[in-house]
Amino acid sequence: AWYSVVTDSLPGQTHPTYVMVLPEAKTQEETPEAILINGEKQEITNRQENGVCMVPVRAVAEALDLEVGYEKVDGVQTITVAGEDSSVVVTAHSAEAKSGDQIKVLDAEVYVEEPGTTWAPAGLFSLLGISVEETADGLSFTK
């Protein structure tokens, strides 16, 4: 609030000239939406960030029997998710994913949250041939 004139009388008197109301900050939201792996409900938390469903990479990958690798060289964090026939490589703070010879753009950037959870858009797993869809029961991953 801003005010312009203060009188010398006691008690001091003033009237606001302008009042600014700021919107509530948008933050990441953990969602109660269930994660289903091959039809079975998992104890994995996901987040909605700017309309994109973000999932913890290692938790979802291990539930799908995929291998996850993590490497940090010269401050650059690289995460690899590998299945039987294919793999996807992503870099933290980037929305690009390399699958074979192709580079795909994800719906949001991959990031690492301390103490070491990597969050990525759920669509990352579709690059490995896994069906990813939102159903009435929750977010479903089918191998």
Phi, psi angles (nearest 5°) of residue 61: -60, -45
Do 108 and 49 touch, CB atoms closer than 8 A?
yes
pLDDT tens-place string over residues 41-91: 998 988 888 888 999 999 999 999 999 999 989 989 999 999 888 999 999
pLDDT tens-place string over residues 105-118: 999 999 998 888 99
The kind and range of the H/E element at 61 are: helix 57-63
Question: Whole-model pTM above 0.85?
Answer: no
Asked if residue 32 has a cis previous peptide bond (ω within 30° of 0), the answer is no
Specify the pLDDT at position 56. Answer: 94
How far, in Å, CA of 61 to CA of 121, rounded? 13
Specify the pLDDT at position 34. Answer: 84
